[in-house]
Structure formats: structure tokens, C-alpha cells
């Protein structure tokens, strides 16, 4: 029977690290399934480094069976297989071996992979106990040029459906000193990773391209063409405008303490259709009020609660209802317009 597909997803980043820890503590092999560019391979490599493990990748779609099975050699009256040098041995210490593109590889490559996962051996080769395994794929059901995995092969893995998270990517980007303008842009739009082309890997590339283009004095029109090649024309135009204007969403404390001063700005964003800035503002407030202590402080303060009420009043209908539902889900009081306060 085919393994049931789960719709539960895990964000790439710190949540995925915790899941990998559980898998390896239980002696299970994870299979990361997710869209291209979300950071599957990068996550596995950085996980290996954090555990002081060597890291090797086998792209099965580019390999021949002998690249795993090895080549036969006569040893007296018997044939033995000489394993390829790329396979780890006990002399290599501890490590992580990742199988990429299993569902793009021909069937004759999946068979030895199954044996490796099942018996941790291939003919005369024995996979060292000090090494771990993992795999990463783009799901066939998402429209990629890939096959569904055979149930027997997939059953050897713990399948983890992974997605990109703006918050997790920003934490990673800050640690790796990605250009602050790209970080701020990603923070300003909660839907930045919703389309396939606009993914973490693409925005990491945009950051590098933008920095180098500035050093070279590249014309804006040419820079836009280059960035569009990573994230699409619409996103390229949006980012370049953002980078030029450097307009940020309102932070939570500005909303709670001084929203009256900034109210016209948010209302103008709504009128002009700059909903990424509006959504970013709401997201900042949600993050801040997730702390029950901060929520309680805001609820007791006449000024802060009135400012929350004004914010919700100014939101477009769908965003207002989404924000109200967020309060209800946490069993918080919902800020409502009192006395027609506008």
C-alpha cells in the first residue's frame, strides 16, 4: 500500500533542524520534499557542519550504476566489486551523505539506492555506521519533471514536506550578512515566497547581484533585467522601488504608542495598493503581541488599545477579518471601533 501523503509542512530553518535531530536520534533517514530554491540542500549542508560531520552529495540523476555499485574485479575464483572512492569508509570518520534527485533518476539507479537504505551495503561495500543518510526531492505532484517514488523506496524514509518561511530565511540571511535591503524587502511582504520563482535561493542571488551591480555602476534598466532573471519582472520592479524609497512597514511599538502620527501613512498605503507594507505592519504587531505579557500590557493601556483599534479600523476588509481572527484564536479580546473613533 502506498504511503499516505501528508499535508503537514515544516519551515526550512530552525524547525527543520529540530525535526532532523529527532529523525537521526531515532535512526531514521529523512527525505526532504519541497519546491526548488526553498533551501533543502543548504539546510542539510549547514546541519552537517553544525554537527561537525563531513558532507557529501550524490546527484543520482547524473550517475551510472557503477558510480554506486562499483566495478567487478576477479579475486581468484570469485568476483568482487571495488566500490567507488566517493563512497565513505570507516577511515572517513563521521559524515552525512545526501541523495539528490532520486525521483529524477532512472529506475536502474533507484534499485542500488534502495539496497543502500535497506541493508546499508552494496555488494562488497558496507556503509559506515558513523555516517548518516538523507535525501531531497522536488515533489512530482507539484509539476516538476519527476516521477512518483516507488512505495518500497519511499517507505525507507521519513518524508518531510518542507516550505520556505520569510521569518526563518531572514534569521539565516542576517547570520550570513545578506544585503539588508533584500532582508527588509522580504520582511515587508508575508507572501514573498508564495510563487515558485520568488524563493529564498533566488533572493539570496538578488542580494549578491545588487551589491555587485552597485560596485560596477550598472544602469538601473540593466539591473532590473538581471534581477528579473531571478525573481520575475514584477518582483524585480517592486524590489527596486522598495530599495530606492526604503519604505518599511510600521513596527509594533510605533503602532501601539504613536499610531495617530503614522495613521495617514498607513491609510495612504491602503489607497495606493501598497498592501505589502500594510501586511508587514500587521505582521509586526502580531509577532509582538504573541507574548501574553505584551498583550496584557497593551490591553490595560487606554492609548495602546485605542491605537490597535484604529489600526484594525484602517485595514481593508479581508486583512481586518484576518487580524480579528488572529486575536480570537489566541482567546484575546478583539479591538473594535468604539464611539465611531476614526
* CA of residue 25 relative to chain centroid, distance: 23
* CA of residue 84 relative to chain centroid, distance: 33
Contact 120, 127 (CB under 8 A): yes
**Secondary structure of the chain: what % helix, strand, coil (to 5)?**
55, 15, 30
Cell triple for 216: 560596477
DSSP letter string, 227-274: HHHHH-HHHHHHHHHHHHH---PPPHHHHHHHHHHHHHHHHHHHHTT-
Instruction: Please tell me whether residue 29 adopts helix, strand or coil conformation.
Output: strand
Predicted pLDDT at 56: 95
Contacts of 252 (CB under 8 A, 6+ apart): 284, 285, 287, 288, 289
Predicted pLDDT at 110: 84
Q: What percent of the chain has pLDDT over 70?
A: 94
DSSP letter string, 115-155: HHHHHSEETTEE--TTEEEEEEE--GGGT-S-PPPPHHHHT
Cα–Cα distance between 277 and 247 in angstroms, integer?
Answer: 8
**Exposure string for 144-182, b = 16+ CB within 10 A, e = fewer:** eebeebeeebbbbbbbbebebbbebbbebbeeeebbebb
The CATH homologous superfamily for domain 9-163 is: P-loop containing nucleotide triphosphate hydrolases (3.40.50.300)
Predicted pLDDT at 157: 92
Gyration radius from the chain CA atoms: 25
Cα–Cα distance between 72 and 65 in angstroms, integer?
Answer: 12
pLDDT in tens, 64-99: 888 888 888 888 888 888 888 889 999 999 999 999
Q: What is the mean pLDDT of residues 281-307?
A: 94
pLDDT at 334 over 60: yes
**CA nearest to 20, candidates 38, 2, 46:** 46
Cell triple for 112: 542500488
Predicted pLDDT at 339: 46
Q: What percent of the chain has pLDDT over 90?
A: 60
Cell triple for 134: 538523507
What element of type H or E holds 9?
strand 9-11
**CA nearest to 288, candidates 242, 318, 320, 257:** 257
pLDDT at 42 over 70: yes
Q: Would you call 336 exposed, middle or buried from its count of C-beta atoms within 10 A (0-12, 13-18, 19+)? A: exposed
Contacts of 185 (CB under 8 A, 6+ apart): 192, 203, 238, 239, 242, 243
Cα–Cα distance between 284 and 60 in angstroms, integer?
Answer: 43
- The reply to whether the predicted model has a pTM over 0.95 is no
Contacts of 146 (CB under 8 A, 6+ apart): 101, 103, 104, 137, 138, 139, 140
Q: What is the mean pLDDT of residues 36-60?
A: 94
Predicted pLDDT at 5: 52
Cα–Cα distance between 69 and 152 in angstroms, integer?
Answer: 20
Amino acid at each position: 500500500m502506498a504511503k499516505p501523503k501528508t499535508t503537514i509542512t515544516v519551515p526550512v530553518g530552525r524547525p527543520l533542524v529540530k525535526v532532523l535531530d529527532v529523525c537521526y536520534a531515532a535512526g531514521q533517514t529523512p527525505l526532504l520534499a519541497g519546491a526548488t530554491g526553498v533551501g533543502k540542500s543548504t539546510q542539510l549542508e549547514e546541519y552537517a557542519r553544525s554537527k561537525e560531520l563531513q558532507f557529501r552529495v550524490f546527484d543520482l540523476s547524473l550517475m551510472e550504476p557503477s558510480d554506486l555499485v562499483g566495478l567487478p574485479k576477479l579475486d581468484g575464483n570469485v568476483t568482487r566489486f571495488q566500490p567507488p572512492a566517493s563512497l565513505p569508509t570507516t577511515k572517513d570518520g563521521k559524515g552525512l551523505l545526501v541523495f539528490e534527485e532520486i525521483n529524477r533518476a532512472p529506475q536502474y539507479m533507484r534499485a542500488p539506492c534502495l539496497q543502500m537504505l535497506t541493508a546499508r551495503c552494496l555488494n562488497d561495500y558496507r556503509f559506515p555506521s558513523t555516517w548518516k543518510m538523507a535525501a531531497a526531492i522536488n515533489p512530482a505532484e507539484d509539476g516538476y519533471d519527476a516521477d512518483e517514488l516507488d512505495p518500497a523506496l519511499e517507505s525507507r524514509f521519513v518524508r518531510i514536506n518542507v516550505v520556505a518561511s520569510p521569518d526563518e530565511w531572514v534569521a539565516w540571511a542576517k547570520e550570513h550578512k545578506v544585503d539588508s535591503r533584500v532582508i527588509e524587502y522580504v520582511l515587508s511582504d508575508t507572501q514573498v515566497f508564495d510563487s515558485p520563482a520568488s524563493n529564498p535561493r533566488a533572493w539570496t542571488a538578488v542580494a549578491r547581484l545588487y551589491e555587485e551591480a552597485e560596485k560596477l555602476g550598472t544602469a538601473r534598466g540593466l539591473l532590473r533585467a538581471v534581477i528579473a532573471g531571478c525573481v520575475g519582472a514584477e518582483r524585480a520592479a517592486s524590489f527596486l522601488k522598495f530599495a530606492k524609497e526604503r519604505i518599511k512597514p510600521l513596527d509594533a511599538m510605533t503602532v501601539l504608542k504613536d499610531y495617530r502620527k503614522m495613521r495617514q501613512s498607513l491609510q495612504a498605503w491602503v489607497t495606493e495598493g501598497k498592501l505589502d507594507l500594510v501586511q508587514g505592519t500587521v505582521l509586526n504587531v502580531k509577532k509582538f503581541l504573541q507574548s501574553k505579557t505584551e498583550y496584557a500590557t497593551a490591553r490595560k493601556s487606554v492609548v495602546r488599545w485605542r491605537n490597535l483599534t484604529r489600526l484594525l479600523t484602517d485595514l481593508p476588509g479581508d486583512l481586518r477579518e484576518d487580524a480579528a481572527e488572529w486575536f480570537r484564536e489566541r482567546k484575546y479580546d478583539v479591538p473594535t471601533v468604539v464611539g465611531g473613533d476614526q
